[in-house]
Each structure stands twice: as C-alpha cells, then as structure tokens.
Amino acid sequence: MNVFGVDIGGSGIKGAPVDLERGDLAEPRHKVLTPHPAAPDGVADCVAEVVNHFGWSGPIGVTFPGVVTGSTIRTAANVDKSWIGVDAAALIGERLGGQRVTVLNDADAAGVAEVKFGAGRDRKGLVAVLTFGTGIGSALFTDGKLVPNTELGHLELHGHEAEKRASTKAKDDKELSWEEWAHRVQKYLAHLEMLFSPELFVIGGGVSRKADKFVPLLKGIRAEIVPAQLQNNAGIVGAAMTAAAAGQV
Ligand code: BGC
C-alpha cells in the first residue's frame, strides 16, 4: 500500500508516494525550494505542487518544523511566525481540493520511520532520534512508542539555545571544523543523557550521511550513537506512516 509523504524543511519541500510495507519511497522524490518568507499560503502552494507533480489523490502525511498538536501549529522557530495557530491540515487539504491531510512534527516523523524501519528498529528502552539541520529536532520513544513534540533542540546549554550552537546551520554559519562541531554535539548529547538516560541516540538529518566524520569524535557518552539509516527520506516515510496510522487508509 502506498501513502503520500511530504517533508516541509527550511530549505526544501519534498515528497513522494511511500511504500508502507518496505518503508521506502515508491518513486523518486520531488523537491521544490521553500519560499521566503516561509508563510502558510506560499508553503501550502508548494506542498500542493509536490503532491500534484505525482497526480496523487489519496491519503497524505505532512511534516512541519515546529510543535503540532492535533493539526494546529503551535511554534515556528525556523519558519514564518504567521504559522502559529494555523490548522495546517485544513489549509493544505483545501489547497488539494479537500483531500485528507495528517500533520506532525518533522523530527517525530523522522523518528517514527527510523524506529520502524531504520536505526532504531527493535530497540527496547528509551531511544532518542535527533535531526540536525537548520535547527535540531528531537523524537523520544519508549519501547517504540513516541512521546511527541519534545523540542529538545531548544534546551539551554551553557547559556545558549542548543540548536543555535550545535545545528548543522551553526556549523556552516560559523565555519566550524568537524572537531569543533562534534565537541558541541558531544556536550549536547551529554546533557540529554543526564536528563533522559537513553539506550540509543540516532543521529539524523542530512549530516547523517557524513557520520564517519563526526560520530567517532563523540566521546564519553554511555548510550550507543548511530547514524540514521533512512537519512533524508525519514521525514517523508514517517509522515506517510502517520497518515496511515491516523486511519486515512
Ligand atoms: C523546531 C522543531 C523542529 C526542529 C527541526 C526546531 O527549531 O522547534 O519543532 O523539529 O527545529 O526542524
């Protein structure tokens, strides 16, 4: 069975039909650039463009880089603040001629996919999936069950918001070496470990492709640290899985 997944990111909006049995894209994904400002109308148009590229009609799951309760956006750290209070499922569904849409946090979606099909598969205890990109996203699972909207990228660390210091955007903006950046990530993981004692950290986001450059530099963390396996498709796959679980199919 295929369900459509869309991942709204700070730089791109990408989507594809997802094969739910395999936990992988059924067709190569289509990507459009995120408009700036990343405000509701422009972003909803882009989501519709991605979905219509495939001539898709049927269930759709969409990720959003902020807190989502029900289908209402509650925070918008790295997209336009006019999203706050918007019913994203209603807005996007209307753009798509009334199709049913399920919306969830982007890191939660990536985590759902990693825990079912990727690096967190069959793991007991607490699993923390972290996505490093424009911000830092977090998804916590206890025995495979998601605790949504944890927002651990906004924890304060040495007087700074963690994602301002340790996201890949911070690495790029400040031209940090892998060693310098890994040092910041290590401090962040140590803080999370002190709070939550996870068994496993799954490191996601585009940077997971370069795990060999920084994971070996992360020292002194008790939990196992592994790169995400679905890499940049995890959000798309998790969005589609969540739409299916929401009873759309
Ligand atoms: C947002 C989170 C999101 C993360 C990754 C953070 O700034 O607050 O909701 O998951 O960025 O996009």
Range of the domain at 242: 2-108+233-248
Q: Which helix (H) or strand (E) holds 239?
A: helix 234-243
Same domain, 80 and 171: no
* Residue 116 counted as domain residue: no
235 lines ligand 1 (CB under 6 A): no
* Residue 115 counted as domain residue: no
- Per-residue DSSP letter, 66: S
Q: Give residue-wise pLDDT tens across range 192-227.
A: 999 999 999 999 998 999 999 999 999 999 999 999
Give the span between the Cα atoms of 244 and 40, in whole angstroms: 24
CA dihedral 22, 28, 34, 39 (to 10 degrees): -50
Q: Give residue-wise pLDDT tens across range 39-73.
A: 999 999 999 999 999 999 999 999 999 999 999 99
CATH for 238: 3.30.420.40
Same domain, 101 and 157: no
153 lines ligand 1 (CB under 6 A): yes
* Residue 176 counted as domain residue: yes
111 lines ligand 1 (CB under 6 A): no
Same domain, 73 and 170: no
Same domain, 98 and 12: yes
- Could you list the beta-strand ranges (E) of 27-149: 30-33, 60-64, 68-69, 72-73, 101-105, 126-132, 136-142, 145-147
Write out the DSSP string of 30-58: EEEEPPSS--HHHHHHHHHHHHHHTT--S
Which residue type is seen at 118?
G
Same domain, 60 and 155: no
Q: How many domains does the chain divide into?
A: 2
Whether the predicted pLDDT of 249 surpasses 70 = no
Does the global pTM surpass 0.85?
yes
Closest to 157 measured CA to CA, from 186, 127, 133: 186
